[in-house]
Amino acid sequence: MPETFLGDLAEVKLFDILKPLFIDKRTGKILIRGEERGELYLELGNITHAKTDNSVGEFAFSTLMGVKAGKASFEPDEVPSERTISILTEQLILNWSSQKQWNKIKEVVPSANAIFRALPQENPESISLTGEQWNVSALCNGMKTVSEICEALKWDEFKTSKTIFQLVQLGLLERGEDRKPIKKKLISNGFFHTVETELKKVIGPMAPFVISDKLSDMGATKDSFAQDQISPFVQALSEEISDDYMKKEFLRAMTDYLLTDRKAN
């Protein structure tokens, strides 16, 4: 069958192009032609093969998901001659999302040689941290490097850097030469559970991936999400709902939750 043009990757992300194909459980080949050339194969909505000129499998998938210029098209009912991706598509996307998160962390914690120190707090007794965050905070004394903190805690660099990233976002740590924003008022613990539950009602199992994608777009994480980010975040999620009635229902449900949560706190 002839191929169908899906979109210009300079205008729309490949992830947004793939979502309806996942939801509709499509089978076929997605062709990427641009700064990077490659192919993705779907079988009943699951990605089973990916390749570029220089790679195959999960690495090729991650490479193609990062393409920002080019054309995407779809050839329905095409099946791969080999299958280089064996994990579930949900896990594949979560792995890719984790890599995106790591890239965001590296913007704040650029290397294992970076040094962080505590910022003075007006009301230290009001600070609520996890045990892991307290451990890292205590070691960020303006002298120890990230690498030395890893060694002291017996953690890997990702876990240590992620925790430092969270503390910087909370306004509790800074790099020696950079001032970071003051601590923001964070959301309640039930927000993301509620937003995922309500979004699943209207777009199904793709909801967690859409949430992760929108968080990445905002440069935010669930652990450091501030109240002033709620409105643009919920609005961005609602734009993923094509049915106007279901969109209104989602926005109504989230408004009701936020009003109830605000009264409780």
Residue of higher predicted confidence among 208 and 217: 208
Residue of higher predicted confidence among 41 and 3: 41
In the prediction, which pLDDT does 26 show? 94
In the prediction, which pLDDT does 183 show? 53
CA distances from residue 160 to 26, 91, 172, 213, 264 in whole angstroms, order as listed: 40, 23, 15, 23, 34
Confidence bin at 237 (pLDDT 50/70/90): very high
In the prediction, which pLDDT does 35 show? 77
The region of weakest confidence among 10-14, 46-50, 118-122, 163-167 is 118-122
Report d(CA 152, CA 112) in Å as an integer.
13
User: What are the structure tokens assigned to 97, written together?
Assistant: 């999302």
The answer on pLDDT for 218 being more than 70 is yes
Q: What is the DSSP letter of 186?
A: B
In the prediction, which pLDDT does 120 show? 87
Overall average pLDDT of the 207-211 stretch: 87
Residue of higher predicted confidence among 251 and 265: 251
User: What are the structure tokens assigned to 116, written together?
Assistant: 């962080």
Contact call for residues 88 and 46 (beta carbons, < 8 A): yes
In the prediction, which pLDDT does 55 show? 83
Who contacts 157 (Cβ-Cβ below 8 Å, separation ≥6)? 112, 146, 147, 150
The answer on pLDDT for 182 being more than 60 is no
Contact call for residues 218 and 184 (beta carbons, < 8 A): no
Report d(CA 205, CA 186) in Å as an integer.
27
Confidence bin at 263 (pLDDT 50/70/90): low
Whose CA is closest to 151, among 116, 112, 117? 112
Name the percent of the chain lying above pLDDT 90: 42
The region of weakest confidence among 49-53, 65-69, 120-124, 245-249 is 120-124
The model's pLDDT over 47-97, given as tens digits with 9 standing for 90+, comes to 999 999 888 898 889 888 888 899 999 999 999 999 999 999 988 888 888
Contact call for residues 211 and 196 (beta carbons, < 8 A): yes
User: What are the structure tokens assigned to 106, written together?
Assistant: 């590296």
The model's pLDDT over 129-178, given as tens digits with 9 standing for 90+, comes to 899 999 999 999 888 998 899 999 998 887 899 899 999 999 999 986 54
Mean of per-residue pLDDT scores for the chain: 86
Report d(CA 262, CA 258) in Å as an integer.
6
Residue 3: how many CA atoms within 13 Å on its side-chain side? 15
In the prediction, which pLDDT does 28 show? 95
Q: What SS3 string covers 68-119?
A: CCEEEEEEECCCCCCCCCCCCHHHHHHHHHHHHHHHHHHHHCCCCCCEEEEC
What is the strand order of the sheet 38-43 is part of?
Answer: 4-8, 70-76, 28-34, 38-43, 46-52
Whose CA is closest to 169, among 209, 129, 197, 203? 129
Report d(CA 200, CA 216) in Å as an integer.
19
Length, in residues, of the chain: 265
